[in-house]
Every structure is written in C-alpha cells, then in structure tokens.
Chain A
C-alpha cells in the first residue's frame, strides 16, 4: 500500500478543469508536483487533504479514502498551506502547543519542546511570533505539522518568499524527515530545489500530468546537451536536423542536441546562413528547467516560431 494513491483524480470549477484525471502513487519519498501558477497543484493538495471534494476519481492517503474516511486521512497527514498562518500575537511555543493539544498528543509540552529543539527554535520559543523572521515562521509551521508524527506531510510552496539560507534549512529538515520514513509531498515552482532535493517529480500543466520521474531520468530523457543562444534582433528557428529548438524567451533560444560539441559549429553556421546575429552560444547539461520548458512549453511563443514543426518533432521524440 502506497502512502498516497490517486486514480483519475479530477476537479472542475464550473467549466474549468483544474485537475484532469491525475493518477499517481507516492510512497516514502520526497515527491514534488511542479507546474506553472494555476496549473492545479494546490487543488490537488486540497483534494488529498480532504478539504475539497473531487469531481471524479478517487484518492487514498495511507489506505484511507479521502472522501469516505476524512477523519482517518486527516489523522495520518499534516498540511502546511502556503499562507504562513502562525498567530503573531502568540509565542512560538503557544502556537505549537495549540496544535499538539488539538491533535490530542500525549505529553504535548514535551513533544513541543523536543520539536522546537529540532527546528532550532528553542531559545526564541517564548517570544511572540511577531518578531520571527520568515524562515523561523516556516520552521514553526513545521513544528506544528510534526507534533502528531504524521505519516504523510503536505507542503504547499514550502520555500516561497524565503531567503537562500532559510530555503536550504527547510530542505535539510525535509530531507531528514524523509530519512525517518515519512512521505513528503511538496508543490513548488523552484526547479533547482526540486532537482536537488526531490526523489521524484511530476510536471503538471493545465491540470494534466505531463511528465513523471526522477530528476536525473527526466533530464536523461530530454537528450544529452542543451545549447543556448543569445540572439540580437528577430529570431526564427534556423532548422538544422538533429538540433531541436524547445524554448525561446526574450532573447534566449534553447536547443537540444545529441552531441553538443559537434552541434555548436553546425548551429553557428546555420545562424550565419539564415542571417541571424548571435551574441553568444553556450553548451551545458540539461537542467530540470529545460525539462519543464520542454514539457510545458514557453507561455508566450514568439512570432515566426513554427508550431507544427515543433509538435512533429515532439511526437518523433516520444
């Protein structure tokens, strides 16, 4: 039995399909649902945490159906929404103790003390949350979420609005929790974090799951090398066989090639022949960003971009 299972999970808001037949299993790992804003990430989490009823399909958390056994589901999970909801007029300890008591934890005070120490909040625990930094508030939310030792932890944009150091700390804690056997389901749109800290990622766009796998797998599936070109003036695809344009934004075009070293001069020649002025060419390994752009597509596609050709190429690759 997997910690999270969804089967054709679907949610409509009126005519708008927010989540479209999502089937997933997640177990004992850090799983990230990636997607642009409004792609259905939060809707998915709300359905899994029993806050929203699916229009179609089913979901189970620790074997309990999210619609029929709401209370059992809520008992086995914790949910940290993206709003950073901690009471600023209460101290850190009071905030944590409230949740320990609401969960009916035995010896709530000891449990809170222990977790405040883990999250490095002990020495500031009796100050009002008003004076806490963003990173401290997030860690306090983790304390609240962990008081009842949940089997599954849902984090909606856990590092949103935090500085680099605070983000690193949050991810350290998430990784430590996974090692302790917890299943962690995060939503994020920070690709670099998903790449470094998540075991598997799912890319969702307009409610549909478009890609699923471990970051190295997804990058390997994309191809060997990525070439980025900085363009002066108008841009169109020079159209070289074996070198595929997959993203274009402002003045940067990204191409995929089997062998980047050999493709570089070929591409440079093609640009010259097409009369396109190139300021710089760079060769690098694919990142999760590239996977994301390749899967979801650039939101605003520039004029002159050959849509049909792009689709044909995509189809050939599969």
Chain B
C-alpha cells in the first residue's frame, strides 16, 4: 500500500506545477455561487446563498471526481499506465492513488469555494458541522473518482471520456436538489432528484447545517462508495492492455 503515497505525490506535484489548472477548476463553481447564488430572485427562502452553497460544494467535488478519469486517461495515452502496470507493486495502488489524490484535491478546492461563500455572506457553522460536511464531500469524491477512473480504463480515447464526462455531469447537477428544494420541484423532477446520488450528498450537508445527523444519507454514500471501489479494484487487478 506504500505505492499509493508515491502515486499521490506524483499527481500532486504535477497539479501544483500546472498553475493554470489549479485556478481554472475553481472558476465554474465560484461563478455559480456569485452569479446564481446572489442574483437569482428566489421566493422559497430569504438566504438563497445558504441554500445553494451545499449544492455548489458538491458540484465542485463532482467535477473534481470526474477529472480523476481524465488523469488516468492521459496516463494511458502517454504510456505511463503501461509502465505502472508492469511494476510488481499491486495494480490497485494506481486506483487508490487516483481516488485519494482526486478526493483530497476536491476538498482543497471545496475549501476555497466555502471561504468565498462565507466572504459573500453565507452563514458560518460550527467546526463539527464543517467536519461532517468534509466527511460527506470526501465520501462523494471517492464514489465519483472510483467510477470515473475505472470508466477511463475501459474507454478508448480522451474524446470519448470527455463526451461521457459532459454527458453525465450537467444532467446530474440539474436533476439534483442543488438548486431548489423538493417542495417546489415538478413531480417528475422530484422522483429523479430523490434517486440522484448528488442529492444524497447535498441533502446530507443541508441536514448537517440544520443541526441534524443524516445517518441514512451518509450510510448510503458509504455503501455506494465501497461497492463501486470494490468493483474497480477487481477491474484494475485483471486489466490487460
């Protein structure tokens, strides 16, 4: 398992030295927070920023998690994956390295979004509440990055991965409870939103902010994460080029 640390270090150095990418990933969620969170004339709540912040945090993790697939895709295209697969260290280390790096990077990005939210007027919560929020975001990141990394292992080229990426990320976001509560949704959307894993994470953070402990949602995220990761480990162990 020591290999995981070295794979994370490699990706981290590459990320930090990429400079532009460090900030570009933050533009989208920050724009949503400011232009939608502050500007949308909403009647169901008097602090829409507080309502939308959990949704934007999860959105940040969503794009961070899916980018794990892009990372693996480039490792594959550029020949790194072949060299890693020819190493004696367990192949699932490559997967765990990507999952942990991408989830931790997502948490760093989410922290910056959280700071921006507070600066423009979102409520401040207790350390325990933030701790639980981070736990939820981390579980969600693991789920998404395990899925995206394994998908990238199977897809042929970067174009098809980018296509799948756009195909799932926007619909997932809009059919979640990120932008409006279930009570104001049309009936058909409510059904989809309640099944959407994004909503589990968003609802869980909202519940934490309201002072509750969302055991059911955290448990579902955990179970989903474990199942997807277990499948991914099997896929990585058996992979051939």
A and B found bound together: yes
A interface vs B, CB < 8 Å? 46, 49-53, 71-72, 74-75, 77-81, 83-85, 87, 89-90, 94, 98-99, 101-104, 128, 144
- Contact (Cβ within 8 A) B86 A89: no
CA of A17 to CA of B78 in the docked complex: distance in angstroms?
Answer: 26
Nearest chain A CB to B200 CB, angstrom units? 36
Pairwise interchain contact A101-B6, C-beta atoms closer than 8 A:
yes
Say whether A104 contacts B2, CB under 8 Å.
Answer: yes
Q: Are B241 and A102 in contact (CB under 8 A)?
A: no
Q: Does B43 contact A (CB under 8 A)?
A: no
- Chain B residues near A102 (CB-CB < 8 A): 3, 6-7, 84, 87, 89
Are A89 and B6 in contact, with the CB atoms below 8 A? no
The residues of A that contact B14 with a CB separation of less than 8 Å are: 87, 89-90
CA–CA, A50 and B6, complex, Å: 23
Given contacts A101-B3, A128-B17, 6 further A-B contacts (CB under 8 A): A50-B86, A51-B85, A77-B86, A84-B79, A89-B14, A90-B17
Which of chain A's residues has its CB closest to B239's CB? A51
- Given A71-B88, A90-B10, A103-B87, A51-B79 contact (CB < 8 Å): no
Chain A residues lying within 8 Å of B17, measured Cβ to Cβ, are 89-90, 128
Which residues of B are interface residues toward A (Cβ below 8 A)?
2-3, 6-7, 9-10, 13-14, 17-18, 78-80, 82-89, 240-241
Shortest C-beta distance, B238 to chain A (Å), equals 10
Q: Are B78 and A85 in contact (CB under 8 A)?
A: yes
A85 to B83, CA, bound (A): 8
A98 to B10, CA, bound (A): 7
Closest-by-CB residue of A relative to B17 is: A89
6 A-B pairs with least C-beta separation: A83-B79, A85-B79, A75-B88, A79-B86, A74-B88, A89-B17
Contacting pair A103 B82 (CB below 8 A): no
Cβ A51 vs Cβ B240 within 8 A: yes
Contact A83 B78 (CB under 8 A): yes
Shortest beta-carbon distance, B153 to chain A, in Å? 13
Minimum Cβ distance to chain A for residue B101 (Å): 14
- B6 near A79: Cβ-Cβ < 8 Å: no
The reply to whether A104 and B82 form a contact with Cβ atoms under 8 Å apart is no
Q: Which of A72, A81, A84, A98 contacts B6 (CB 8 A)?
A: A98
Residues on the A chain within 8 Å of B13, using CB: 89-90, 94
Interface of B is mostly: helix
Given contacts A89-B17, A101-B2, A104-B2, contact A74 B82 (CB under 8 A): no
Q: How far is the CA of A102 from the CA of B241 in the complex (A)?
A: 20
Q: Could you show 27 A-B contacts with beta carbons less than 8 Å apart?
A: A46-B241, A50-B86, A52-B240, A52-B241, A53-B240, A71-B88, A74-B88, A77-B86, A78-B86, A79-B82, A79-B86, A81-B79, A81-B82, A85-B83, A87-B80, A89-B17, A89-B18, A90-B10, A90-B17, A94-B10, A94-B13, A98-B10, A101-B6, A102-B6, A102-B7, A102-B84, A102-B89
Interchain CB contact under 8 A, A103 and B89? yes
Q: Identify which of A52, A72, A102 gathers the most chain B CB atoms within 10 Å of its CB.
A: A102
Contacts A90-B13, A90-B14, A94-B13 known; A51 to B82 CB distance under 8 Å? yes
CA distance A121 to B13 in the complex (A): 21
Q: How far apart sit A89 and B20, CA to CA, in the bound complex (Å)?
A: 13
Which of chain A's residues have a CB closer than 8 A to the CB of B2?
101, 104
> A265 to B241, alpha carbons, bound, how many Å?
56
Q: In angstroms, how far is the closest chain A Cβ from the Cβ of B14? A: 5
> Is there contact, CB below 8 Å, between A85 and B18?
no
Do B80 and A85 touch (CB < 8 A)? yes
A275 to chain B, nearest CB (A): 54
Taking a contact as CB atoms under 8 Å apart, the answer to whether A81 and B83 are in contact is yes
Contacts of B10 in A (CB 8 A): 87, 90, 94, 98
Q: Judging by beta carbons under 8 Å apart, are A103 and B241 in contact?
A: no
- Report the Cα distance A152→B110, complex, angstroms: 47
Is A51 in contact with B86, judged by CB distance below 8 angstroms?
yes
Docked pose: A101 CA to B10 CA in angstroms: 11
List residues of chain A with CB within 8 A of the CB of B89: 102-104
Bound Cα distance from A89 to B17, whole angstroms: 7
A90 / chain B contacts, CB cutoff of 8 Å: 10, 13-14, 17
Give the residue of A74, A87, A98, A104 whose beta carbon is less than 8 angstroms from that of B86. Answer: A74
State A166–B13 Cα separation when bound (angstroms): 29
Question: With the chains together, A50 CA to B18 CA distance in Å?
Answer: 33
Neighbouring A residues of B7 by C-beta, 8 Å:
102
What separation, in Å, do the CA atoms of A87 and B80 have in the docked complex? 9
* Closest-CB distance, A92 to chain B (whole angstroms): 13
Report B71 CB to chain A, min CB distance, Å: 12
A223–B3 Cα distance when bound, in Å, is 55
Is the beta-carbon distance between A103 and B88 smaller than 8 angstroms?
yes
CA distance A74 to B10 in the complex (A): 21
> Which residue from chain A places its CB closest to the CB of B85 in the assembled complex?
A51
Contacting residues, chain B, for A53 (C-beta < 8 A): 240
